[in-house]
Structure formats: C-alpha cells, structure tokens
Amino acid sequence: MMRMSRLRGAHWIPCLVTLLTLVVIGFQAVPPGVSAAPAAPAKAEVKIDNFSFSPAIITVKAGTQITWTNEDDIPHTVVSDSKAFKSKVLATGEKFTLTAGKTGTYSYACSIHPNMTGKVVVE
C-alpha cells in the first residue's frame, strides 16, 4: 500500500518536465540570419525649399524609399538627367517618393528651375 501512494504522488513529474520543455522552447533566441519580423524599408528625405534640394547629395542603400517634399511656395519637379525617375509638378506641400533601385549615381534637377540640382548615390 505504501508503494502505491508513492507512485501516485509522482505523477506530476512528467507534467513538470513537459511544462519546462515548453517554456524553454518558447524563450529560445532567434537564430542568427533569421529576422523575427520583416524589417521596414529604410527611408530618406529631401526637402525642396528656397530654390534648392536639401541635402543636395544623398547616399542610400538599394531599397531605400526617398521622399522629396516641396516646402517652397512655388512649384518644382524632380527629374533625373538619365530619365530614371521623374515627378509630376509638385505644389507646396506635395511629395514625390521613389524606391532606390539599381546602384549608381543619379543626377537630377528641377525641370522648371534647371539651376536647382541634386544627386542620389545608390550603394
């Protein structure tokens, strides 16, 4: 009879082992090279104001979203010399966004005010 009560009291051990195993599995670190969640795309901003692009030269990684915002009180455009990208005419407060693709250096200007120039360097 004594032996039987000892066995009945030990039934919690497998439950404890199972619970501890689940806890350990749940708290494992994410293996290197695997991201827990997809990374948001990198972003860069260029301001258009006082007849200039700021910064005039921007260096970004491929895949970066670049946004030009017209903060000037007159319309402007963003047009690459190679025709790789071209915005519509941007009124005050309007934005033009593109995702940097192929590596290289892209010179651009405002087609309305050609003395306004800038460069995007994609690495």
List the chain pLDDT tens, one digit each, 123 residues. Answer: 445 555 556 666 776 676 666 666 665 555 565 555 667 779 999 999 999 999 999 999 999 999 999 999 999 999 999 999 999 999 999 999 999 999 999 999 999 999 999 999 999
Residue 83's Cβ-side half-sphere holds a number of Cα atoms within 13 Å equal to 0
Q: Check: CB of residue 44 under 8 Å from CB of residue 60.
A: yes
Residue pointed to by tokens 């082992």: 17
E strands, the chain, where?
43-49, 52-54, 57-60, 65-70, 79-80, 95-99, 104-109, 117-122
What is the DSSP code (8-state) at residue 111?
Answer: S
Report the predicted TM-score, pTM, of the whole model to 2 decimal places.
Answer: 0.69
